Structure 1
Amino acid sequence: MSSHQQEPTFTIGELARDYDITPRSIRFYEEQGLMSPERTGQNRIYTGKDRVRLKLILRGKRLGFSLAEIKNLFELYDSNPNSAVQLETMLALTEQKRAVLRQQLHDIQMLMNELDDVEGRCREELTELKRGNIV
C-alpha cells in the first residue's frame, strides 16, 4: 500500500462537530482511557478506530452504561476481539440496564398515578368552590 492511501484522519473539532459534542468531552474520554489518539506536537490525530470508539461511547452513555463499563468492554474487545467473554459481559450489562429501566418505568407510572389523583382532587375542589361562589 502506498503512503498516498492512508486511512482518513480527523481533528478534535471535526469529531466534536460530527457528533454534536464539545472538544472538552472528547478530551475527557481520553483522560478516562477510552480513546488514545496519536499526537503530532500539541495536535491530536484521530483515526477511524477513534471515531468508532466515540460513537460507541456516546451510544453506551445513551443506553445508561457508565464510562467504567464502556471502558471494560473496550478492554475485553482489545484483548480478545469477538470473544465469548465480551458478548457474555455485554449481555449481563444489558440485562442489568433493563432491570433498572423497568424499575424506573414502574416508579414513573406510580408518580403519574399520584399526579392523576392530586389533579383530580384539585379539579373537584375547584369545581365545588366555583359552584358555591366561594372563589
Structure 2
Amino acid sequence: VQGAAVRLREHLPAAVVAARAPEYRVSEAMRLRSAVETTWNMHFFELSDDAKAAAYALAVVEPDGVPQDVVVGVLGSSADRAAVAIADLLACSLVQRDFETVVAVISMHRLVQDVAFDKLAASAVD
C-alpha cells in the first residue's frame, strides 16, 4: 500500500496531494457555513434596508418561532412594511415562515443566524 501511495504522489499534481492532506481538510460544518455565507453575500446587497434590519434582528433572538410582530416592532412600522421585508428574506431563502400557527412565525436556520450575527458584529466594528 505504501508503494502505491508513493507512486500516486509522483503522478498527481502537488496541489491535489496538498488538498488531500489532513491539515487541509475542512470539516463538513465549515463547508456548510461557507455555503451559507456565500449565499448571504450574494443576496445581501439585493436586500432592502428593512430586510437587512429584520435579518439582523432575527440573528440575535431564538432562531425558531419568532412572531412576525417582532419584525414589525424592530422596523417601527406597519405590518405591511414588515411583510415586504420578510418576503425579501423568504425570496432569498434566508428565513422560513410558518402559517400553521395561530400567529405567523419566522424561523432562521442556525447557520444563517450565525453568519448574520457575524456580519452584524463586523458592521458594528466598522
TM-score (norm 1): 0.26
TM-score (norm 2): 0.27
Larger radius of gyration: 1
Looking at both structures, which has the greater relative contact order when contacts are Cα pairs under 8 Å and sequence separation is at least 6?
2
